[in-house]
Every structure is written in C-alpha cells, then in structure tokens.
Amino acid sequence: MSVHWQIRPEGPEDADGVAALNDDGFGPGRFAKSAYRLREGVAPEDGLGFVATGEGGVLLGSVRFWPIVVGGEPSLLLGPLAVKSELRGRGIGIALMKTGIDAAKTAGFKTILLVGDESYYARAGFARLPAERVRFPGPVDKTRVLGLALQPGALDTLSGSIGRARIDEPVAACGAPLG
Ligand SMILES: CC(C)(COP(=O)(O)OP(=O)(O)OC[C@H]1O[C@@H](n2cnc3c(N)ncnc32)[C@H](O)[C@@H]1OP(=O)(O)O)[C@@H](O)C(=O)NCCC(=O)NCCS
C-alpha cells in the first residue's frame, strides 16, 4: 500500500496528536526515564519540532528536541521520535530526524545527544559516546548514549553533567526539587 506523507513544522494544534503518538510509541513508562528529568518543566526547543502528516492532514509521526547543557555547553536532546505503528518502515522516522537535525544545525547548535538504539540512529550519523563522558540526571544504559556533531570536532570537547538549559515552568517529579 503506498501512503503519501509529508513533513511540516509542528504547530500548537498538534499537541494532542503528538502526545498520542508518543503514548503509542513509548507508553506511560517513558516519564520515569532519566531523559525525561531533562524535559520536566521545559518546553521543547522552538522551531525544531516536526510532524509527518498523511491523507487529510492526519499525524503519522513526530520528532522533538529539548534544550540541554552539557558541562555548561548548550546542546540538544533528540526525542521523542515516534511513528504510527502501522506506518513504520517507510522512512518517515529517518526523514523526521534528518529534518530536525538540519534545522538544529541552521539554528546554530553544535551537538545533539540522545538515548537510543545505536543501530537505528547511526543511519543519521549518531555514534556511541565514550563511557563516563557525560552524566545524565539518573541511571541510563551507557551503551545507548549517542551523540552527533553538527560542526567538525564539536563532540570531542563535550563532557560533564547534563542539565536543563532553562526552566519554563517549575515542575517537580513527586514533589522533589529539581537540580
Ligand atoms: C523507531 C521508529 C521511530 C522508527 O520509525 P520508522 O518510520 O519505522 O523508521 P524508518 O522507516 O525511517 O526506518 C526503518 C528502518 O529502521 C529500522 N529500525 C527501526 N527501529 C529500529 C531500532 N530500534 N533499532 C534498529 N533499527 C531499527 C527498521 O528495521 C528499518 O530497517 P530497514 O530500512 O533495513 O528495513 C519507530 O519504530 C517508532 O516509533 N518506534 C516506537 C518509539 C521508539 O522506539 N522510538 C525510538 C526510541 S530508540
């Protein structure tokens, strides 16, 4: 079955649809992951959210990026990236990711990090970061910590603790203060 789809910037009207895609792709357990500590109280980076749409404008996939600092240096956390389950394997995920990466580069970001499957994200140039180079605010599987340099050598000097680049709205998980 051939499906026509296209990619466009995410707009405010997409919020519920994107939440549904992420629920479908990751389930409610995603909020407990360390990467989500970096998203609490922070809006996704403006201008770097993209959605894939199909017939009638229906949402088929979404990618967002969050602003982070790594050892004081601005960077981005890629994700969530999710594609509607019945439409996977058509290149929508890679196209969303590459569109977002290009926009991040144009916006002047030098690096992107994520926690995910290396064999998938390597298709967009991500590679595993040396163990212990960066520290997430909670446990992560170090073999899944990946990075992409948007400028030559930009990953080589990136190291240290990862934190939120800003706080838009103070939200604490389980009442705990956020560092
Ligand atoms: C991961 C995801 C976004 C991929 O979207 P997609 O539109 O199917 O991806 P693409 O069509 O661009 O790429 C498909 C290819 O990637 C491979 N692939 C998909 N997920 C993969 C993974 N987790 N690890 C390794 N390879 C993967 C597929 O096998 C396929 O390979 P092929 O081209 O050799 O057939 C989608 O499967 C999804 O939403 N999954 C649930 C949420 C999720 O796990 N997000 C990523 C977190 S690591």
- Which residue's CA lies nearest to atom 22 of ligand 1? 120
Q: Ligand 1 within 6 A of 144 CB? A: no
Q: Who contacts 152 (Cβ-Cβ below 8 Å, separation ≥6)?
A: none
Closest approach atom of ligand 1 to CA 114:
48
Return the higher-pLDDT residue of 170 and 85.
85
* Interval 143-158 mean pLDDT: 96
Q: Is the pLDDT of residue 99 over 50?
A: yes
> What 3-state class would DSSP assign to 148?
strand
- The whole-number average pLDDT for the span 131-137 is 92
What is residue 54's three-state secondary structure?
A: coil
- Token pair listed for 78: 């890629």
Give residue 85 CA to ligand 1 midpoint distance, Å: 10
- Would the CB of 83 count as within 6 Å of ligand 1? yes
Find all residues with CB under 8 Å of 145, minimum gap 6, and list them: 113, 114, 115, 128, 129, 134, 136
pLDDT for position 171: 53
Strands (E) across 71-110 are located at 73-83
Could you tell me the distance, in angstroms and rounded to a whole number, from the CA of residue 170 to the centre of ligand 1?
Answer: 33
* Separation of CA 174 and ligand 1 centre (Å): 32
Of the candidate ranges 27-41, 61-75, 91-105, 114-128, the one whose mean pLDDT is the lowest: 27-41
Whether residue 113 has pLDDT greater than 80: yes
pLDDT at 170: 61
Judge contact between 129 and 147, C-beta under 8 A. yes
Average pLDDT of the residues in 101-119: 97
Atom number, ligand 1, closest to the C-alpha of residue 26:
42
Whether residue 178 is predicted with pLDDT greater than 70 in this model: the reply is no
**pLDDT tens-digit map of 15-58:** 999 999 999 999 878 888 888 899 999 999 999 999 999 999 99
CA 71 to ligand 1 centroid distance, Å: 30
pLDDT band at 172 (very low <50, low <70, confident <90, very high): very low
Task: Show the tokens assigned to 62.
Answer: 């979404």
Q: Is 25 in the pocket of ligand 1 (CB under 6 A)?
A: yes
Q: Is the CB of 115 under 6 A from ligand 1?
A: no
Residues 6 or more apart whose Cβ sits within 8 Å of residue 46? none
Distance 89 CA to ligand 1 centre (A): 7
What are the structural domains of the chain? 6-166 (3.40.630.30)
pLDDT (mean) for 108-113: 98
User: Which residue has the least CA distance to atom 9 on ligand 1?
Assistant: 93
Q: Two tokens at 69?
A: 């600092």
**Residue 110: half-sphere exposure toward Cβ, Cα within 13 Å:** 12
Contact 53, 97 (CB under 8 A): no
Verify whether ligand 1 is closer than 6 Å to residue 107 (CB atom). no
